[in-house]
Amino acid sequence: MELDETVVMDYYLHLLKEDEIHFLKDKPAKAESIIISIQKLKESNSLHDRIECARDLWKLLFEAAMEYIDPNKMGYDELFRYFDEFVSFEELIFASDSFYRDHTLHSLWVYFLGEYVFRKKEFQPFFENFYQSFQVREHYKKIYTELDSKEIFGELLSTIKEMDPFVSSIGAARCVAALTHDLGYPLNKIVKINKAIGKVLPYFSISQFGEFHFQFESSQQFYIENFIEIMGYDVFVGPRDRDLTFHEYELVKHIVEKTNELTAIAHSKGKIPAFLPEVKELIKSCTPEQVHILRQLYQIKCWFHKNTARMMRFSDDFERYAHGIMSAFLLMKIVSAFTDMTITYSNIADIPLDVFDLPRTFAKMQILTAISDHTSRGYRMREFNNLSSFLALIDEIEEFSRISRANQFRQYIEEFCRTKIYVEDDFMVMEFIFDNEDIEALDPERAFKGRIRRFNQLFDIPNLSEKVKLKIIVLSKLKGAETRYELFIEKDRFEARKNGSPVPIHKYLKTREIS
């Protein structure tokens, strides 16, 4: 199906009217304000007017989604003032690129397109592992509830249920991540502005000029280092480690094995095994000593694991002002819900669950990590199983916001390319059609080469999940000729074709990075 901003906005309006947006349930006034704002955006003719509508809609969506995750709204006013300046900055540098992506609109289209792709039935198999973690959690909840032993599984079951707010907030997290992922973008443009100025000044016999440059104050270094360290931690929740004696182990061995088999099958096959009643009878027949041992085994703890590779990656991103991590840093500095993620511990390997709000903290860390990952030079994905991989994918396929030259008020716009997304032969197909003869210097082959480079950076081809199968088509219909460029991505396959014939990528791109 051919997609554009109208299609994805109409689909989102449908979701709103069907009460399918979880963070807007039971909030009719907020939902109605968003509906009115989307309708106004759809009816706007000039791009300048659309930007003004988009600015208001962005704030409405951010506020509704973020307060669902955390009711602490301190910092919203400052963030919205920054966003106003961000929009003004985009006005200033709008014509700095021949085919500029308007990030005010882009953030909205990423969110709406993401909801379209994530929720449409035909695309759901590609995100099966994204859904699976929630489905498995529901299976675990049902298993431990039906085993009917609060004495043994009470703490575990309570922890599983306490994660309900995170599960219900994942849609809000998708919204916040999409809206904020490019807030740090202005820093990227400063280098380009300096270069543009440098090309103009020689005509005035000015050979040297002081470039605009910036650096963080030394007083900020401690904050930056701690920010990167926090971003480098993975959060885990699971049973405490217990050293059982041989006697204790023999007493509960068969019960633990059967219980583990239950959860393993639920995890791998997505269903509750038929022998659950058999395990329930085993639990019922436990002696007091067995109950005591099992209760210890199923006590829950939280622990942090330092991901050194990610910390190094984010440090490099910060040094080069990658706009993803700059966006995350901005949120951490301004929005109190991110700043005040209080976590107190004496042992990083055993953090009591009662000292911090795990569901909210986990949701906010997912947002910050996804935003940072999407421009991180070393980030590579193997499947679409979390917010980072989902945001990176949708960010790459959103092309509604890329337009050609415009003046300061954005009156002169042209369609860069048309987009189709569909499923064919188990592949998710993303088709970009270049057929607008009115745009000067349009180069579909260059766009295709850019796709190859970017997707080679993003995907860990040898270790891709079997569920990841993508085909990117760039179709050129210019100057009376048709050329079809294709890129196939699946496990152990990264293949480019031109008009059906394989293209040696290393020669095509003149690179040694792709064999």
Domain interval for residue 505: 403-509
The predicted structure's pLDDT at residue 407: 39
| Radius of gyration over every alpha carbon of the chain, rounded to an integer in angstroms | 26
Residues 92 and 119 in one domain: yes
CA distance 227 to 224: 5
Residues 350 and 216 in one domain: yes
The predicted structure's pLDDT at residue 349: 75
Per-residue pLDDT of the chain (515 residues; tens, 9 = 90+): 789 899 999 999 999 999 999 999 999 999 999 999 999 999 988 878 888 999 999 999 999 999 999 999 999 999 999 999 988 887 766 655 554 567 888 999 999 999 999 999 999 999 987 766 666 777 788 888 888 888 888 888 888 887 777 778 999 999 999 999 999 988 777 767 777 777 777 877 776 666 656 666 666 788 888 889 889 988 887 777 777 888 888 998 998 898 888 888 877 776 788 888 998 999 999 999 999 998 888 888 788 888 999 999 999 999 888 999 999 999 999 999 998 876 666 677 777 777 677 788 889 999 999 999 999 999 999 999 999 999 999 999 987 656 544 434 444 445 578 899 999 999 999 999 998 877 777 889 999 999 999 999 999 999 999 999 999 999 999 888 899 999 999 999 999 999 999 999 999 999 988 87
Q: Which of 397, 432, 455 is the last residue of a domain?
A: 397
In sequence order, the β-bridge partners of residue 351 are 302
Q: For residue 98, is it within any domain?
A: yes
The predicted structure's pLDDT at residue 405: 40
Please list, residue by residue across 2-27, b when 16 or more beta carbons sit within 10 angstroms of its beta carbon and e when fewer do. Answer: ebebebbbebbbebbeeeebebbeee
Residues 166 and 47 in one domain: yes
* Three-state DSSP class for residue 419: strand
Residues 372 and 248 in one domain: no
The predicted structure's pLDDT at residue 404: 44
The predicted structure's pLDDT at residue 94: 60
CA quadruple 109, 115, 118, 120: dihedral sign: negative
Q: For residue 451, is it within any domain?
A: yes
Residue type (1 letter), 132: Q
Q: For residue 380, is it within any domain?
A: yes
In sequence order, the β-bridge partners of residue 478 are 481
Q: For residue 515, is it within any domain?
A: no
Residues 141 and 59 in one domain: yes
Task: List the structure tokens of 372.
Answer: 């940072």
Residue type (1 letter), 336: S
* Three-state DSSP class for residue 30: helix
* Three-state DSSP class for residue 135: helix
The predicted structure's pLDDT at residue 202: 80
pTM of full prediction above 0.85: yes
**Number of domains observed in the structure of the chain:** 3
Side-chain half-sphere CA neighbours of 14 within 13 A = 11
**φ and ψ at residue 82, rounded to 5 degrees:** -60, -40
The predicted structure's pLDDT at residue 475: 96
**φ and ψ at residue 44, rounded to 5 degrees:** -70, 135
Residues 87 and 225 in one domain: yes
Task: List the structure tokens of 11.
Answer: 């689909």
Q: For residue 256, is it within any domain?
A: yes
CA distance 276 to 265: 11
Q: For residue 435, is it within any domain?
A: yes
| Contact (CB, 8 A) for 458 and 397 | no
The predicted structure's pLDDT at residue 480: 82
| Contact (CB, 8 A) for 16 and 34 | yes
Q: For residue 84, is it within any domain?
A: yes
